[in-house]
Amino acid sequence: MKDAYLVLEDGSCFEGKSFGFEKSVFGEVVFNTAMTGYPESLTDPSYEGQIMVLTYPLIGNYGVPSAETCSDGLSKFMESGRIHAEALVVGDYSVNYSHWNAALSLSDWLKQEKIAGICGVDTRELTKVLRGSGVMQGRIFIGKPESFSPQTEYSKINFVDKVSCREILKYNEGAPKKVVLLDCGVKENIIRCLLRRGVEIARVPWNYDFSGMDFDGVFISNGPGNPDMCSEAVQNIKKAMAKEKPIFGICMGNQLLAKAGGAKVYKLKYGHRSHNQPVRMLGTNRCFITSQNHGYAVDNSSLGDDWEVYFENMNDGSNEGIRHKTKPFFSVQFHPEAASGPTDTEFLFDEFVNLL
């Protein structure tokens, strides 16, 4: 294994060994504290442009499932057709793996997908740096480290345009209820969750003006990067709101619906990326443990009078969802589809489909 380094924009340097594809890449360095789920997280399009650091020390021990797809083109086990993270940074890489569903090792998968990976890094120490200073950009070097200063700002790149579908894709055609799915980089388990509830889906590109389509409801997906880069989507969501049909959004979908309702988003210091984020449904004592992956959040103080906070994060009080006071529009910042993570909030898909 070659020596490999992660150099952060503040100059800190972490040394490890390359266990993935040998290439120098850069990205926004973010940490995820989940204990499992690296196949799903790596293929989550919301990680486009980011270097993923896993704090759980033992990674790779259950291998990676196969990339096989179903007849509708959706992946059987992954969240999209490829790895989206720019690189993976772990503590102990487990060379031996064992799982009923494993098809190959994590190392072989990274090499096959041409994604850099470093192991042997004290990822908890690295996480303390990111928690202290906030997320920052970093670069992976193979062989010997150099100094690094980012050329482009993460927040100025339209990553959604890189991961959204290019043409309309239909699923379960002919079903009685039709959902337009605005694809900002949708995780495939969201599509599976909707299909299990018997709806037809028209998956449209992130900037497609779907307002003239025939639909019973709109779903706004998760997606990478800064929601302020998606103003075309916000305009089209505003047009859809005028029709007063049900709208449900997840993660980026929460941020875009909030923006369409006139609210603002801001960047969190180091985001929420884990399987154990506690959220409370406002106005109740119902708490749920949720799976999350986001760096931006809706500013509650900017919500208009027609809107209310639906969920709040019990760690830091930040917004975890919004709801219109009189119309069937709601969205959440966490991931009710899980994949990976707890499934406590999957009932939100039922609420959406029941409204159609």
Ligand X SMILES: NC(=O)CC[C@H](N)C(=O)O
Contact 1, 18 (CB under 8 A): yes
* Closest listed residue to residue 277, CA positions, set 229, 233, 338, 211: 338
Encoded tokens for 3 = 């020596």
User: Considering beta carbons, is residue 16 or 225 the nearer one to ligand X?
Assistant: 225
Contact 209, 180 (CB under 8 A): no
DSSP secondary structure string, 318-332? Answer: -EEEEEESSSSEEEE
Q: Active site residue: 251, 272, 275, 324, which one?
A: 251
Annotated binding-site residues for L-glutamine read: 46, 223, 225, 252, 255, 293, 295-296
User: Considering beta carbons, is residue 178 or 335 the nearer one to ligand X?
Assistant: 335
* Closest listed residue to residue 51, CA positions, set 109, 132, 117: 117
User: Considering beta carbons, is residue 272 or 324 the nearer one to ligand X?
Assistant: 272
The binding site for ligand X (CB under 6 A) comprises 46, 222-225, 251-252, 293-296
Half-sphere exposure of 23 (CA within 13 A, CB side): 14
230 a catalytic residue: no
Contact 92, 59 (CB under 8 A): yes
Please say whether the dihedral angle defined by the alpha carbons of residues 129, 130, 135 and 141, taken in this order, is positive or negative: positive
Q: How far is Cα 272 from Cα 276, in angstroms, rounded to an integer?
A: 10
Encoded tokens for 57 = 């020390």
Distance of alpha carbon 297 from the chain centroid: 13
251 a catalytic residue: yes
At its nearest, how many Å lie between ligand X and the CB of residue 327?
A: 23
At its nearest, how many Å lie between ligand X and the CB of residue 204?
A: 17
Distance of alpha carbon 202 from the chain centroid: 21
Encoded tokens for 162 = 């890189």
From residue 28, give the alpha-carbon distance in Å to each of 48, 62, 101, 126, 225: 9, 27, 31, 13, 10
User: Considering beta carbons, is residue 203 or 294 the nearer one to ligand X?
Assistant: 294
335 a catalytic residue: yes
From residue 242, give the alpha-carbon distance in Å to each of 104, 236, 246: 49, 10, 11
User: Considering beta carbons, is residue 252 or 257 the nearer one to ligand X?
Assistant: 252
User: Considering beta carbons, is residue 102 or 165 the nearer one to ligand X?
Assistant: 165
At its nearest, how many Å lie between ligand X and the CB of residue 224?
A: 5
Catalytic residue ranges: 251, 335, 337
